[in-house]
Structure 1
Amino acid sequence: MPYSVVRAGHAELLVRDLAVSRRFYEDVLGFVVTEEREGRLFLRGVEERHHHSLVLTESEVPMLGHLAFLVAENDDLDAIATYFQALGCDVHFIEEGEEPGQGRALRVQDPFGFPLEFYAEMLPAECMLQKYHLHKGAGVRRLDHFNCFVSDLASCEAMWCEGFGCRVTEYVETDEDPRVKKAVWLQRKGNVHDIALMEGKGPRLHHIGFWMDDMGSIIRACDILGGAEMHAHIERGPGRHGISNAFFLYLRDPDGHRIELYTSDYLTVDPDHQPIRWSATDPRRQTLWGHQTPESWWRDGTTVMDWERCVPVELRGVTDVRAAGYIK
């Protein structure tokens, strides 16, 4: 390919009260505040060495602002712009510093409605990993992945695999003939996933996953939430997934955005790694052990922003993407 996506880079969430959200993310989850300006907060995990992996932007309507991916070189941005233009998408470049801490970047509303950003450079930030005396809350380590509801799973998977070189690590499939995929986990950085796609009304963000040090740090997050009388923010877990083998905890932030605290998955760097198939009828795919998954986890998601109009993108049915002519 004429460009290289390195990994999931950062996400922007629109929140109604920045002060309330700051207390949740900084004091409870333990994010480090890199910068605050003009109704925006730029956060990173204690392990991270870039300016931010999470942006909180104050807004009347909570939604996803954008999902961002780090690319290898600045020239990759122009090649990716050409790729999206060939799909019929409008692209927009933002200059260095327009998003604080970040270099030149490409923004696009992809064929499935998701606001995506690609960038090659970001200002360095101090790694706080071994400054244990300064850690707050649960001590989130780093961004791990995004998980999204999509209306046309097959076409969206094709875009990420054929267009961006993602590899499938695990997938959920029906048992009937012909078999149909219901969800896929895709990676670029050599773990289980940078982005997961689940069939559903979309475009919507299901969750953002952040890596934790170990299982004990996730239990500590539960203790912190309980001690602060914020246990109602726990939606699901702790438990262990069948898919990814990860130990997990799902939280809802003050605006309802879903955050996963995640650890103990596995490496997928070997070139002969074969994807793992799960039957759609196997309940262990989502919960190897743990409490029953609540209905809200299957149903709820964060709407995504239309960059041109700054309003939520209308949810699509499964045929809309193909009808728009973006995917042949």
Structure 2
Amino acid sequence: MPIPAATLYPPFNILRLSHVELCVTDLARARGFYVDTLGLQVTHEDAGHIYLRAMEERGHHCVILKLAAAGSVGVLGFKLYDQPDLDKAAAWFAAQGLSVDWVERPFMGRALATRDPMGVPLEFDVQMDRLPPIHQHYALYRGVKPLRIDHFNLFSPDVDASVAFYAQMGFRVTEYTADEDTGRTWAAWMHRKGGVHDIAFTNGRGPRLHHLAFWVPTPLNIIDLLDLMATTGYVGHIERGPGRHGISNAFFLYIRDHDGHRTEVYCSDYQTVDPDLEPIRWNLKDPQRQTLWGAPAPKSWFEEGSVFDGAALRDSTLAAQPIVAP
């Protein structure tokens, strides 16, 4: 299907992605992965949660680790421009026949909870608690030196439908993969903040979270993380990379925590702020779309993801298959 035209004046103003809640089965083990290895900073912890932020972030948290019986994803969060936008968002989701709930969350002001048509739990906020800057506290930098949360990538059973819905909220497509046989979209990258994406959708059984991603300073930081993981018992958690994507031009690495949640650490994508920027189209059969250089993605990268709490899974009706490593 054709990529929808950009909605330059959406019904409410999303600035960027904000946070994610990851349900984990062992908080101490998760702390060892996300704090001691990856390098995120703890902003609060209690018996059931650990709140984390990256080095350039002023908001209280970008990741919430929540103790649970099984690994899953509780919510994907996005930041809106101002308080009136929260009310506009609530009215818009209600008009779409979707749930609207006002929720109280620690370290956040008024927040709107809802779901997209695929069942993905979404949360919108404006006024998360602000913390003092730490980006020049270089003694705190460790792991891959994550600077900021950058994007979410989701498996969707109907990428065209997901793209159409998020386009109505003002997300703009920067790049996409087309299946030439059916004319349908196999994957698409959509942004609000002026990078290649805040959210992306990949064809597959879903909805599921494929990965969350952090922007890091340089490719050398990724090499440092690989050395650290290889010598601290985490070598088996390295899933894919390093390499460079054709789509987004990003230098990347994919790693998995003990509950299977996938994190990408990457750098080197490009600016997309022009409202008339044309999306870049890729053929699904082009091997350089996913890997400009580097080893092909393993089968797990195309098939495994994290389920969303309360969302029913559906198989995709698009059976097109990209190149998979043996």
Length-normalised TM-score, structure 2: 0.92
Aligned to 1:322: none
2:158 to 152, 160, 163: 152
Counterpart pick for 2:261 among 257, 264, 269: 257
Taking the aligned partners of 1:104 and 1:29, their CA distance within structure 2 comes to 30
Match of 1:80 in 2: 89
Q: How far apart are 1:31 and its partner, in Å?
A: 0.3
**Aligned mates of 1:138, 1:165 — CA distance in 2:** 32
- Structure 2 equivalent of residue 314 of structure 1: 312
Q: What is the CA-CA distance between 1:49 and the residue it aligns to? A: 0.8
In the alignment, is residue 7 of structure 1 matched against residue 16 of structure 2?
A: yes
Alignment correspondent of 2:177: 172
Within the candidate set 221, 224, 227, 1:223 is matched to 227
The question of whether the paired residues in 2 share the 8 Å contact of 1:45 and 1:142 is answered with yes
Q: Separation in 2 of the partners of 1:216 and 1:48?
A: 21
Counterpart mapping for 1:105-144 below 5 A: 105-144=111-150
Please name the residue that 1:186 is paired with: 190
Quote the offset at 1:287 in angstroms.
Answer: 0.3
User: Which region of structure 1 is more displaced relative to structure 2, 267-276 or 255-264?
Assistant: 267-276
2:74, 2:309 within 8 Å by CA — same for their partners in 1? yes
**In 2, Cα distance between equivalents of 1:110 and 1:262:** 27
Any residues of structure 2 matched to 1:192-231 within 5 Å, and which?
192-231=196-235
The DSSP-based 3-state class of the residue aligned with 2:225 is helix
Q: Equivalent residue for 1:309?
A: none
Structure 1 letter corresponding to 2:174: T
- Between the aligned partners of 1:223 and 1:73, the Cα distance in structure 2 is 43
Conserved? CA contact 2:11–2:92, under 8 Å: no
User: Hey, what's the Cα distance between the residues in 2 that align with 1:111 and 1:169?
Assistant: 22
**In structure 1, distance between residues paired with 2:45 and 2:233:** 27
| Distance apart, 1:101 and its partner CA | 1.2
Distance in 2 (CA, whole Å) between partners of 1:174 and 1:21 is 38
How far apart are the structure 1 equivalents of 2:156 and 2:92? Answer: 20
Moved segments of 4+, more than 4 Å: none
Partner Cα separation in structure 1 for residue 215 and residue 166 of structure 2? 22
- Corresponding residue SS for 2:236: helix
Determine which of 294, 299, 305 is the counterpart of 1:301.
305
RMSD (Å), alpha carbons: 1.2
Choose 135-144 or 185-194, whichever is displaced more: 135-144
Q: Once the 2 structures are TM-superposed, how far is the Cα of residue 318 of structure 1 from its aligned partner?
A: 4.7
Deviation of 1:109 (Å): 2.2
Q: Is the 8 A contact 1:138 1:224 kept in 2?
A: no
3-state SS of the aligned residue for 2:86? helix
- SS at 1:35 equivalent: strand
The 2-side partners of 1:28 and 1:317 are apart by 35
What is the number of equivalent residue pairs in this alignment? 308
Report the Cα offset of residue 102 of structure 1.
0.8
Looking at structure 1, the residues matched to 298 and 162 of structure 2 have their Cα atoms a distance apart, in angstroms, of: 27
**Counterpart in 2 of 1:92?**
101
| Residue identity opposite 2:188 in structure 1 | V
Gaps of 5+ in 2: 1-9, 318-326
Give 1:111 shift: 1.2
- The superposition leaves residues 237-268 of structure 1 with CA deviations (integer Å, 9 ceiling, x where unpaired) of 00000000000000001111000001000001
* Pairing partner for 1:234 from 238, 250, 257: 238
Distance in 1 (CA, whole Å) between partners of 2:47 and 2:108 is 16
Instruction: Give matches, 1:45-60, under 5 Å.
Output: 45-60=54-69
| Residue of 287, 290, 293 corresponding to 2:294 | 290
Following superposition, the deviation at residue 2 of structure 1 comes to 3.6
